[in-house]
Amino acid sequence: LAPSPPLPLARTRHQPDLKTFDLEVLESAQPGEDLRCGLHSFVYHFGSEPVEFTWQGKGQSHSGVLRPGDSAYIAPMVVHQFSAGKVPTPTASKKRPNPNGRACGQGRRLFIVRIPGHLSGETLAEFGTFSHFGRERVGAETVRWYN
């Protein structure tokens, strides 16, 4: 899994923590590296080849295929991977035209936009100081434990 050379993509001074990436999933990404981010991630597949997308949720592993023109949302702190392997190539009769037309990138190309939510950098820095044994309680407890 390797990003394209860094290019200044979409930015705004009103959202200084907004991040954008043009990510190319290489053939060697079998499986891809584990990724996790404290921001909301929106993925758009603008390439020409399908990408295997796996993520962890509710104690289980899930997977799907992102084809050209598909998009996905990844919640903050969800472990996920983009891989090149195990994706069946559709036959000529089932292959759909690329919805990106001439704007299509060659290969497995993903445009990723990461936007902060209520998990600010300060919140994540404080969370990082918590014991590893109690971190799962942070978002799960809804009852006041003190008087």
Sign of CA dihedral 49, 36, 63, 9: negative
Nearest to 37 by CA among 10, 63, 55, 62: 55
Range 83-90 average pLDDT:
72
pLDDT tier for residue 38 given thresholds of 50, 70 and 90: confident
Q: In this predicted model, which residue has the larger pLDDT, 39 or 138? A: 39
Half-sphere CA count of 49, side-chain side, radius 13 A: 17
